[in-house]
Amino acid sequence: MAEIAYREALRQTMREALIADERVILMGEDVGAYGGSYAVTKGLLDEFGPDRIIDTPISESVIVGCGIGAAMGGLRPLIELMTINFSLLAFDQIVNNAAKLSYMSGGQISVPLIIRMAGGAGSQLAAQHSQSLEGWYAHIPGIKVAVPYSPRDARGLLRTALTEQNPVIIIEHTALYARKGEVPDGDYAIPFGEAEVIRQGSDVTLIGYSGSVFQALQAADLLTESGVEAEVLNLRTLRPLDVGTIVASVRRTNRAVVVEDDWKFGGFAGEISATIMEEAFDDLDAPVARVCGADVPIPYAKELEQAALPSAQQVADAALKLM
């Protein structure tokens, strides 16, 4: 068991894949000489050369389109899009090609493509660079969406993605890259659709993913001071969603708060809330609560940005209202 940073967990896993399988290639803006916008691919160009670590033009649609073609041709491309915000320029390629080619070909075509994106706010990158759009991609059949919280998640989920035969999107929260955590030794993987009970409790379930797991854990500490024991779930993937673990937890605690950075209106927290209401309505002692980002574009100013994001105190207050 070693303690490493989130970005290092990703880098080590990609390096292992490049060594193990000559079909694996990396493509993206600044992934080579610069080492990636968040230093995730640092050093890989020197080790594997420009035929496998490919710096691309600034054109997200072209990057993803080339990745789809390479995957169809027998390679296993790892695409890096600098942020989830820029993925909108490749939305047509992702939604209308990558997600649908296997279905529309009757299974004759596979697209073993991994697209990594940085998402979330909290780094003072302003409204056009700080969005949480993972729910958009989770909405699309044919795509699997992973949202790792810890270095262990990042390594284990990426390893699973490397075995998939069709597209996987991995969304990495910008505020987590430097965060360290313990990663098991050996060749472990984390199956998709398997949430983690990261903290056990009996009074309320706090459900988060990616950066919002940190807020949920902080809120659980605050709730302990009020005599409330919160259970915290780390979803790990949004599609597939581990409905079983969510429902089992809510049946134990009888209350739920869903936390995400995204806007509440039309957000993925609404999907989780509806699922709980459908599957565990008779077990609820209070309506499902949601704590989400403010319904505004993310501000640039540090104080305003923090005010627009969910806080641990807001999560704790929402849980206390359910008691």
Q: Does any domain span residue 191?
A: no
The residue range of the domain holding 23 is 2-183
Other Cβ atoms closer than 10 A to 158: 26
> What's the whole-number mean pLDDT along residues 205-221?
97
The 10s digit of each residue's pLDDT in 89-109 is 999 999 999 999 999 999 999
Is residue 111 domain-shared with residue 239, that is, in the same domain?
Answer: no
Q: Does any domain span residue 188?
A: no
Is residue 114 domain-shared with residue 233, that is, in the same domain?
Answer: no
Which distant-in-sequence residues (6+ apart) come within 8 Å of 106 by Cβ? none
Is residue 174 domain-shared with residue 277, that is, in the same domain?
Answer: no
Q: Does any domain span residue 209?
A: yes
Is residue 12 domain-shared with residue 160, that is, in the same domain?
Answer: yes
Other Cβ atoms closer than 10 A to 6: 27
Question: Which CATH number covers residue 315?
Answer: 3.40.50.920
Q: Does any domain span residue 177?
A: yes
Distance CA 306, CA 299 (A): 9
Q: Domain end: 161, 183, 205, which one?
A: 183
Number of residues assigned to the chain = 323
Question: Which CATH number covers residue 125?
Answer: 3.40.50.970
The 10s digit of each residue's pLDDT in 55-83 is 999 999 999 999 999 999 999 999 999 99
Which residues are tagged catalytic? 60, 129
- Phi first, then psi, for residue 101 (nearest 5°) are -65, -40
Is residue 150 domain-shared with residue 27, that is, in the same domain?
Answer: yes
Average pLDDT, the chain: 97
pLDDT at 122: 85
Is residue 179 domain-shared with residue 201, that is, in the same domain?
Answer: no
Dihedral sign from CA coordinates of 14, 16, 19, 22: negative
Distance CA 89, CA 65 (A): 11
Is residue 11 domain-shared with residue 160, that is, in the same domain?
Answer: yes
pTM for this entry: 0.96
Residue 124 has pLDDT above 90, yes or no: no
pLDDT band at 123 (very low <50, low <70, confident <90, very high): confident
pLDDT at 164: 97
pLDDT at 299: 94
DSSP secondary structure of 254-271: S-EEEEEEEESTT-HHHH
Distance CA 140, CA 116 (A): 17
Token readout for 297 is 């574009």
The total number of structural domains in the chain stands at: 2
Q: Does any domain span residue 145?
A: yes
Q: Does any domain span residue 190?
A: no
The identity of residue 44, as a single letter, is L
Q: Does any domain span residue 282?
A: yes
The 10s digit of each residue's pLDDT in 136-183 is 999 999 999 999 999 999 999 999 999 999 999 999 999 999 999 999
Is residue 276 domain-shared with residue 152, that is, in the same domain?
Answer: no
Is residue 151 domain-shared with residue 292, that is, in the same domain?
Answer: no
Is residue 166 domain-shared with residue 86, that is, in the same domain?
Answer: yes
